[in-house]
Amino acid sequence: MEKITAIIPTFNEEVNIKTAIESCLFADEIIVVDSFSTDKTLEIARSYPQVTVLEHEYVYSAAQKNWTIPQAKHDWIFLLDADESTDEKLIKEIKDTVANPQHVAYWIGRQNYFMDQKLNHVWSGDAVIRLFRKSKCKYEDKHVHAEILADGSIGRLKQKLGHDTYKGKGLTAHLKKADRYSTWAALDRVNKIKKVTAYHLVVKPFFGFLKRYILHKGILDGKAGFIISCMGAWNVFIRNVKVWRMHNGEKFKTDL
């Protein structure tokens, strides 16, 4: 079987880093690429002899990952965000897949949790490409929600990652992250949207809410589903407000 390098990008992830590293102990190499954390993230990561710690200034997610991937020793990359985790079934499927690969990259679904609640409906279709050959793949150059560009076919694993974007951080941290992501999303769109209109500020946020709450059945996830739907609508709204302000020369910070 070919060997695997696991990569975990981090910044102030002392709450999650232990679980993330232990989710990757099956790999032949583990790289934690850190953006100069000020908490105990690096101390915890360095306590694992299997882990190589790299430090690199964070500009945006895709840039950080594309900087790290070429430094991996092995062609197969398993990339795990610090707020994600594996289980024994997923680990077995990853090993079996790499032992007999049919594609150059693989989508992996995510079982999401939010505000201490398992989400059974909203975000149920969430999936990311996290297992791939570095010789055939790289991240597209986008500020936010960049996906893998693959030179070859892409498959899909059956098992899912655990994903809890809220755990241990609380509402304030979540809102700060959303603000940062909306700025990056605005930067990706500022040259594509020529004029911000009522369509961008009213129609798109409204239908963004309906999409999550009704079509994706967020209504069945109770308070968490309603909050996620409202935040999704707000993120679309404030993203487009930022595009409008960028058109008028206003600058926004994108640091962590």
The domains found in the chain, sorted by start residue, are 4-164 (3.90.550.10), 170-247 (no CATH)
Q: Contact 40/34 with Cβ under 8 angstroms?
A: no
DSSP SS3 for 96: helix
pLDDT of the residue at 145: 83
Average pLDDT over residues 123-134: 95
Average pLDDT over residues 26-41: 97
Alpha helices in the chain (DSSP H): 17-23, 41-46, 61-68, 88-99, 170-189, 198, 204-210, 222-247
Does pLDDT of 38 surpass 90?
yes
Distance, CA of 97 to chain centre: 22
Does pLDDT of 169 surpass 90?
no
Packing angle between helix 170-189 and helix 222-247, nearest 10 degrees? 40
Average pLDDT over residues 218-225: 96
Does pLDDT of 254 surpass 80?
no
pLDDT of the residue at 52: 98
Summarised one tens digit per residue, pLDDT across range 58-101 is 988 999 999 999 999 999 999 999 999 999 999 999 999 999 99
